[in-house]
Amino acid sequence: MQDVVIKTDKLTKRFGDFVATNAITFGVYKGEIFGFLGANGAGKTTAMRMLCGLSKPSSGDATIAGFNVYRETEEIKKNIGYMSQKFSLYEDLTVLENIRFFGGIYGLTDQQIKTKSEELIERLGLESEAKKLVGSLPLGWKQKLSFSVAVLHEPRIVFLDEPTGGVDPVTRRQFWDLIYAAAERGVTVFVTTHYMDEAEYCNRISIMVDGKIEALDSPTQLKRNFNASSMDEVFYQLARGAKRGD
C-alpha cells in the first residue's frame, strides 16, 4: 500500500450562496506528480488554499501530510512548500540572501542553510549570479529559483500554482526536470497548469469543472476513457460544458 499524503473527503468551501469547491474527494500518493487542472474559475485556487492551511473549509475533511486542515494548519505549513504563479521572492535581495532568508523562516540552522545554498546554486548553475539581485534575473531563472526555494526545507509536499506561465519552451522543460528530480527524492508534487502537454508529464491528473472534480486518472487512462487523442481534447470535452467562471 502506497503512502497517501493528501487525502480529502467531500471538502467544500462556500462563499455565501456560492459553492467555490464542491465536495471534492481524492487522494495523492507520496512521490507522485499530481496535476490539478480546471478552467479559470473552476475552484482550483480555493481548493489549493484549503489544502495549504490558508483557508478554512466550510465542510468536509482533509489531511495534508497527516495533519488536519481545520486544527493543524501550522503543522501543515511546516511540511509543505508553495510556489505561487506570481513571483514572490525578494527582488531587492540577492540570490544567496533570498535562500538564507527563506531558510531562516523555515527554521533551518546556519550550517544547513550554508550546505543547502551551495547545493542549490550548483544544481541550478547559478554560480556567477549568486550575488546578483534576484530582480535582475531572467524570468526562467526566477522560476527555477522560486521552485528550489519552495523545496529548500525538504517539505513532504510542494504546491505549484501555474509555475511555467510565459516561460520559453526550453526553460519550461528544465523546470520540469527539477520537478521530476524532486519527485524522485520522494517529494509529492501538486501542480496546476494551462499547458496540456505538461498535464502529460503528471502521474495522475484531476480536472475540475464548476467546483467539482469531474475526472481523475492517469493521462493515458483519461484519453482512453474519453476516446481522445490528446489531453487537450479531454479537457475540452469536460470544460466546454462549464457554466460558471469566464
Partner 1 sequence: MHAVKLDSLTKVYGKEKTVAVDRVSLTVEQGEIFGLIGPDGAGKTSIFRMLTTLLLPDGGHASVDGFDIVKDYAFIRSTVGYMPGKFSLYPDLTVEENLGFFATVFGTTIRENYHLIKDIYVQIEKFKDRRAGKLSGGMKQKLALCCALIHKPTVLFLDEPTTGVDPVSRKEFWEMLKRLKAQGITIMVSTPYMDEATLCDRIALIDQGKILSIETPQNITNSYPDKLYAVKAENMYALLKTLSAYDRAADSYAFGEYAHVSFREAINENLLKDYLREKGLTGVELKEIDATIEDCFINLLRK
Question: Which residues in this chain contact partner 1 in the complex, by CB under 8 A?
Answer: 38-41, 85, 138-140, 162, 165-171, 173, 176-177, 180, 183-184, 194-197, 200-201, 219-220, 230-232, 235-236, 239-240, 242, 245-246
> What's the sign of the alpha-carbon dihedral 105, 109, 114, 119?
negative
Radius of gyration of the chain (CA): 18
Min. distance of Cβ 137 from partner 1 in angstroms?
A: 10
Record the cell numbers describing residue 109, joined without a space. Answer: 540552522
Min. distance of Cβ 57 from partner 1 in angstroms?
A: 22
C-beta of 42 vs 124, nearer to partner 1: 42
Cα 118 to Cα 87, 113, 122, distances in angstroms: 22, 9, 6
Expressed in percent and rounded to 5, the helix, strand and coil fractions of the chain are 40, 25, 35
Min. distance of Cβ 71 from partner 1 in angstroms?
A: 33
Strands 204-209 and 212-217, by their bridges, are: antiparallel
Give the count of beta carbons closer than 10 Å to the beta carbon of residue 186: 12
How far apart CA 178 and CA 167 sit, in angstroms, is: 15
Min. distance of Cβ 182 from partner 1 in angstroms?
A: 11
Per the CB < 8 A criterion, the answer to whether 191 and 200 are in contact is no
> What's the sign of the alpha-carbon dihedral 109, 83, 121, 124?
positive
C-beta of 105 vs 139, nearer to partner 1: 139
Min. distance of Cβ 98 from partner 1 in angstroms?
A: 20
C-beta of 27 vs 140, nearer to partner 1: 140
Q: Amino acid identity, residue 85?
A: Q
How far apart CA 153 and CA 117 sit, in angstroms, is: 11
Min. distance of Cβ 58 from partner 1 in angstroms?
A: 21
Give the count of beta carbons closer than 10 Å to the beta carbon of residue 122: 11
Min. distance of Cβ 201 from partner 1 in angstroms?
A: 6
